[in-house]
Amino acid sequence: MVPWLFGLPVLLLLILWAVRRGLRPLQRLAESLRLRQPGDRTPLPESVPSETLPLVQSLNALFNRVAETLEREQRFTADAAHELRTPLAALKVQAEVIGLMPDDASRQRALAQLQLGIDRATRLIEQLLALSRLDPMSAPAAAQPIDWARLSERVLSDVQPAAQQKHITLARNLLVDAGAVLPLTGDDTLIGLLLRNLLDNAIRYSPDGAEVVLELSAERVAVIDNGPGIDPQWLARVRERFFRPPGQDVAGSGLGLSIVERIAELHGLTLDLNNQPAGGLIASLHRR
């Protein structure tokens, strides 16, 4: 018993030392996490016990995703603030001009311009809100089979008043049975928003008396117009948020295609933009 009485304390001390030495990397890891800033994407050192290495690697991947999300949010906030400043300043100037108008006819014209400015600002805010809801999503919230016949009819009805103002003919070309159009489950509301944005762009950029076709097939969903199309040098950039090709005289915020592309990504679709040889643009959605 005497050797055990002297050896047991030594053995316990050795075990305690070994455990503390083995846990030292985890203690350093915990301290590093405690001092870490939210947007820091510096990877954690992987000099940890092999049992905890998968945890560290997963944390490093998470830090990258969090940093990208924060950067995207900051960029979105800065862009939104910049874009809202211009229409709000214009509304203020128009309101001041109305107060200086000497007659009713001039005031009516100024009021019409003010109403147009309010409509533009309202549309911009609606699109910003839509993007703020779409960005954090990783998949549609309410996935269900899409009733393309009903949905396309509803969307065409929504944009009909805008088309009538420019005497534009709207048409739906259903090439297959509605149940065979992109056999897709998704969010009916988001798909409707996607189609409205594509149709609205086609209507606004097409000349008076043009035709806009919504084509539905098993291979694609496409909006085809016979407007001016997009200059080839800007085709790669028109999807960027707040980007508008130079020289355009049609009011817009540069967010419509960004919304379309984000909704398409959530539903496993790809947005393609192609100019037609005879003039006009084809905006089509394909499965990835």
Residue-wise pLDDT tens digits, 142-172: 778 888 888 889 899 888 988 898 999 999 9
For 59-73, the pLDDT digits (tens) are 888 888 888 777 777
DSSP helix/strand/coil, 119: helix
Domain segments of the chain as ranges: 22-136, 144-287
- % of the chain at pLDDT higher than 90: 7
Q: Which residues are 11's β-sheet partners?
A: none
DSSP helix/strand/coil, 173: strand
Q: Tokens 């089979």 identify what position?
A: 145
What fold is seen in the domain 144-287?
Heat Shock Protein 90 (3.30.565)
Distance in angstroms between the alpha carbons of the first and the last residue of the chain: 75
User: Considering the chain, what is the average pLDDT of its residues?
Assistant: 79
DSSP helix/strand/coil, 180: helix
Looking at per-residue confidence, does 207 or 135 come out higher?
207
DSSP helix/strand/coil, 238: coil
Mean pLDDT confidence for 104-131:
75
Query: Which amino acid, 220?
Result: R
**pLDDT category of residue 22 using cuts at 50, 70 and 90:** low
Q: Given a cut of 70, is residue 185 above it in pLDDT?
A: yes
Q: Given a cut of 70, is residue 239 above it in pLDDT?
A: yes
Alpha carbon distance 103, 101 (integer Å): 6
Q: Please, are residues 235 and 192 in contact by the beta-carbon 8 Å criterion?
A: no
Q: Please, are residues 124 and 84 in contact by the beta-carbon 8 Å criterion?
A: yes
Alpha carbon distance 179, 113 (integer Å): 45
- Least confident interval from 57-61, 111-115, 192-196: 111-115
Alpha carbon distance 88, 91 (integer Å): 5
Alpha carbon distance 168, 206 (integer Å): 8
Q: Given a cut of 90, is residue 223 above it in pLDDT?
A: yes
pTM: 0.66
Tokens, residue 19: 């455990």
Q: Given a cut of 90, is residue 15 above it in pLDDT?
A: no
pLDDT of amino acid 183: 59
pLDDT of amino acid 213: 92
